[in-house]
Amino acid sequence: MANPGLLPLAVLSDTSTKDSILQSVAAQIENITNPRTQNNVMASTAILAGLVLDEALIQRLLRRDNMRESVIYQSILQEGADEKERQIVVNLLKAGASLELITQVTGLTVEKI
């Protein structure tokens, strides 16, 4: 395919056979030779497919191990970790923990807290 960046959009097309479209897209993604591009296109496809298809089907058709290397996937993971860290800080503050204790537990600076 001349522009693999368009592959993730295919699953959003107006058709009743979205699962077979995803299967076709997955096969085309496998043919992308650049590993970074392949991982990013696969992750983008999974994200968009999640809007219209079942998660189990997506995971079956798209190799999850490749998606983990994608910058998109890594960014989403980091966002989740940051949110969890913020929630821990809020919970510790509500429980009356000192800033010193919170910095020790989280590794954050006082400024970040």
Residue written as token pair 């189990």 = 56
pLDDT at 46: 92
pLDDT at 1: 61
pTM of the model: 0.63
DSSP tally for the chain: helices H, then strands E: 6, 0
pLDDT at 95: 95
pLDDT at 92: 94
Contact 48, 57 (CB under 8 A): no
Contact 71, 65 (CB under 8 A): no
pLDDT at 65: 65
Structural tokens at position 44: 């983008």
* Residue 3 phi, psi (nearest 5): -130, 90
**One-letter-per-residue 3-state SS of 28-82:** HHHCCCCHHHHHHHHHHHHHHHCCCCCHHHHHHHCCHHHHCCCHHHHHHHHHHHH
- 53-106 pLDDT per residue, tens: 999 999 888 877 666 777 778 888 899 999 999 999 999 999 999 999 999 989
- 22-53 pLDDT per residue, tens: 999 999 999 999 988 998 899 899 999 999 99
- 3-14 pLDDT per residue, tens: 898 999 999 998
Q: What angle do CA 64, 58, 73 make, to 5 degrees?
A: 45
Every domain of the chain and the residues it spans: 4-69, 74-106
Higher pLDDT, 15 or 104: 104
